[in-house]
Amino acid sequence: MNLILVMAGGFLGAICRFGISYIYETKAGEFPIGTLSINIIGCFLLGWLYSFARERSKISSKLILFIGTGFTGSFTTFSTFSVETYNLFSAENYFTAVLYIMLSIGLGLLFVYIGNGIVKWAPYRKGGLR
């Protein structure tokens, strides 16, 4: 049952992400306003959900799976990163929080660069591997 809840939430989150990206795609020029909007909405939603669950323990764990893991996880993973970082700061784990931020952004950009470089690598070009 838990897997079905995550899948259903993920399905809806992916559709919403696609829809918002599609709406903003033609209106924003070069600035990725769709992705920024998705990340901000996801951060708000996940922050609200976990705070609400903490304050009102009667919230169903099934609802957390559906909205938190499924919908928001599919909608954006940036929200999870933001909530985890917030929790580290709240627990006064400042070094770990800053390290997490630096590694997430730094390694994320590095691996985008590496992935881009692999695609440009010779075997993939001009009739190579497809």
129, pLDDT greater than 80: no
Q: Angle, to 10 degrees, between the axis of helix 33-55 and the axis of helix 78-90?
A: 50
Mean pLDDT over 105-111 rounds to 89
User: For the segment 35-81, what is each residue's pLDDT rounded down to a tens digit?
Assistant: 888 889 888 988 888 888 877 777 788 988 999 899 998 998 788 78
23, pLDDT greater than 50: yes
Q: What is the pLDDT of residue 99?
A: 94
130, pLDDT greater than 50: no
pTM given for the model = 0.69
